[in-house]
Amino acid sequence: MRQPLVAGNWKMNGALESVRELLSGIKAGIGDIKKCEVAVCPPYVFIPLAQAELSGTSIPWGGQNLSAEQSGAFTGEVAGSMLTDFGCTYVIVGHSERRTLYGEDDALVAHKHAVARAAGLKPILCIGETLEEREKGVTEDVVARQVDAVVTASGVESLGDGVIAYEPVWAIGTGRTATPEQAQEVHAFIRKRVAESNADVASKLRILYGGSMKPDNAAELMVKSDIDGGLIGGASLKAADFLGICKAADDSV
């Protein structure tokens, strides 16, 4: 049985006061969430605040990105070891915004996945097709290529304690969610792809759905057999909405 995970990707949102409020809102409601793991990924500068507020709770925190390098003259970058210094458990790797806006390709994402693991972080590997790719009927080719890049670089065992987030690019921040059937189909395909290399890793791998998940569509997604939680953007910025999604995940097990 896989424990669901709902992780909030705050992206580049928030200010000191709003982040304090959001953290305390999540803390206030977390008692109702019994079975689902709940995590938050704030912007780098708010990670020390997340650490201060969340230490001693059941809520882990993580980064949204990390450098491909360990240390040195890389102005503006943040190393994986710096994230672990501030208590991060998770780090998002290969989010579609990083892939499209910052040119991160499969090889770089696979490298960052390895760097994250070496630093002691659990990577949340984001994969997913664009609308054009879906319409061309190449969704499976795209997600297979994205998963295979990591498996080839680091071995299938590198997915062992990690997480994959299937995030169709056309559903991110657009209000257009994949139907539960569309999402389940791709999740099952991803698990099958990993199982071809290692069935045990595949059966334990948590595959999250991401893309305009909200409290009112979360339950129908979460009940699908290969959907093990969610990576939440917009709806993670309001404690009540985020907790509503966590509750749907909680009720699905």
Question: Which positions touch ligand PEP (CB under 6 A)?
Answer: 9, 167, 172-173, 210-213, 231-235
Is the C-alpha dihedral spanning 148, 153, 156, 160 positive or negative?
A: negative
- The smaller minimum CB distance to ligand PEP, of residues 210 and 229, is found at 210
Residue 43 CB, shortest distance to ligand PEP, in Å, is 13
DSSP at 169: G
Burial of 109 (0-12, 13-18, 19+ CB in 10 A): buried
Record the tokens describing residue 75, joined without a space: 């102005």
- The smaller minimum CB distance to ligand PEP, of residues 156 and 229, is found at 229
The Cα–Cα gap between 29 and 223 comes to: 22
Residue 229 CB, shortest distance to ligand PEP, in Å, is 12
Residue 15 CB, shortest distance to ligand PEP, in Å, is 19
Task: Provide the annotated active-site residues.
Answer: 95, 167
Q: Which helix (H) or strand (E) holds 232?
A: strand 229-232
Nearest 5°: the CA angle 149, 152, 95 is 25
Q: How many Cβ atoms are within 10 Å of 228's Cβ, its own excluded?
A: 26
| Cα–Cα distance list, 63 to 7, 8, 130, 160, 209 (Å) | 11, 11, 24, 20, 18
The Cα–Cα gap between 103 and 210 comes to: 20
Task: Give the nearest residue (CB) to ligand PEP.
Answer: 233
Residue 203 CB, shortest distance to ligand PEP, in Å, is 25
- The smaller minimum CB distance to ligand PEP, of residues 171 and 201, is found at 171
The Cα–Cα gap between 209 and 228 comes to: 8
Residue 133 CB, shortest distance to ligand PEP, in Å, is 17
Residue 60 CB, shortest distance to ligand PEP, in Å, is 17
- The smaller minimum CB distance to ligand PEP, of residues 156 and 184, is found at 184
- The smaller minimum CB distance to ligand PEP, of residues 115 and 124, is found at 124
DSSP string, 37-82: EEEEE--GGGHHHHHHHHTTSS--BEES---SSSSSS-TT---HHH
- The smaller minimum CB distance to ligand PEP, of residues 87 and 215, is found at 215
